[in-house]
Structure 1
Amino acid sequence: MIDPLSEIITLLRPRTVSSKLISGAGKWGIYYSAFEQPSFCTILKGSCLLTIQGKEPVILNEGDFVFMPVTPSFTISGFGSVVSEQVDAKNTSHVTEEVRHGDQDGQPDVLMLGGYFSFDSVDTALFVSLLPQLLHVQSAEKLSVLVQLIRDEFTEQRSGREHILMRLVEILLIESLRLMEKVDAPVGLLRGLAEPRLAEALRHIHGNPSHSWTMDELARKVALSRSTFFERFTNAIGIPPMEYLLAWRMTIAKDLLSQQNLTITQIAEQVGYGSASAFSTAFSRYVGLAPSKFTYS
């Protein structure tokens, strides 16, 4: 059966736009202003402090991985009091060598790999809305192996380095999301995937979006009453089942429209509408543009 998380990641088509080694020693701090791309950081050695505006500081230790779907303004620093240096991540994306902050001599207190993604998908709203602002995975065996592979690629300078790094970081992202699938995760997709019956419902929705699903049928599929299914799904994922189904169908439709190799009628059939006109009405209401205008927007 279809895996919803894999479906979403595949549809988003993530790619690494920029990644570099960052180190710090002594008293140091870097302030990044907010930017739209999702960003990541994995700690290769030592520890540091991550502070997101309006949130409690988070200590990052060796082996930890951090992912922010929509990057807010944040500071990453050592543990001493210091005025942070302001950095624009996009303006430094061309830098490939290690960037050192604080004391320039001797061994660093912390070494990390940081960077940001771009999604080639035309629609990231559903994915972003269903993830926490900050995803922090503390040292895990699988992540440690991936982090070591990434570190080796950075230091060895072998042919094919950039391609390998891009794939490794993508795998690191997916594995970190899998590790966050737990019932005490923040409201969103990861909490839903951690509950077996809700995960089954999501697999049905993702596996057959062209089916004319109803609330009653989905509830029967997972052996829950209609009211219990609605309540558990909404409380765990943050939106009602039929609203999620609509959002997923529209996400698929946007992707198919952007490829410009199917007719409106064919797309309508793939996302569960009996006619092009019914699909066009639903799409226009949801997106604010007619399918034909979205294709060329």
Structure 2
Amino acid sequence: MMEKYKRYERLVALLKFFTDNPNKLVNLEQFMDMFNIAKSSASEDIDILEEILEKFDMGKLMTFPGAGGGVKYIPVSSLKSYVPFVKEVCERLKDPSRIIPGGFLYTADLIYSPPIVSKIAEVLVYPFIEKEIDAVVTVETKGIPIALMCARVLNVPLVIVRKDSRVTEGSFVSINYVSGSQRHIRSMSLARRALDKGAKVLLVDDFMKAGGTLKGMTELMEEFDAHVVGAGVMIATEEPREKLIDNYISIFVLKNVEEEKNIVEIEISDWILK
């Protein structure tokens, strides 16, 4: 005889299950079998958990009726709870000690911090959370941790575009593109088996100036007949105002860096504060 679980035990187990499996449609029967309970009890558990998540702004549960339906956990329900975090990161980015030669900012300590990068990813994917994305695509730079966390939130594979081909990945597609900021000809490659034809993808990067890299990634996606749903970057520069891509969002806008005066002007993007 299967063990009977108390409701508080089931709720804890459900919360753990959903946070481990975000954005995944799960049939109610799975919980009925897991806890050996009736459908009515499973539905009540879901309703209670939904209220708790909403109360503490910890995401939301979406219910889909019908034979092929179920319950899906969306980790980000609103941006309001992320505003204090984004403001804190923005203040840290303003620290003049982050300025490195060339007018760039040192951001590795933030990008490689799991608690920070996981929240950055949750903010970045918010506009795309219900777009039925099949994969997150990034290029092999330090933006990989952000892209990986975005893929984690969306519960989809991460696809990494290489700067050169790898014989260990089989046949590949390679294109040349123009760097938006330096106007250099560069190349990028992706293994043919890395992405399904017709996939819906989200492009992710850590930093964007003119958008040359993201433009190149978009052109590479065309070789796979993939549909680019959008692009998300942690930081985009204010200049040049005319980017090589249009369909993108950024968390921060870097307005100016003055090495001599130790000044960093960076702001939070308007769409987050609305």
When normalised by structure 1's length, the TM-score is 0.28
Specify which structure has the higher proportion of helix: 1
Specify which structure has the higher proportion of strand: 2
When normalised by structure 2's length, the TM-score is 0.30
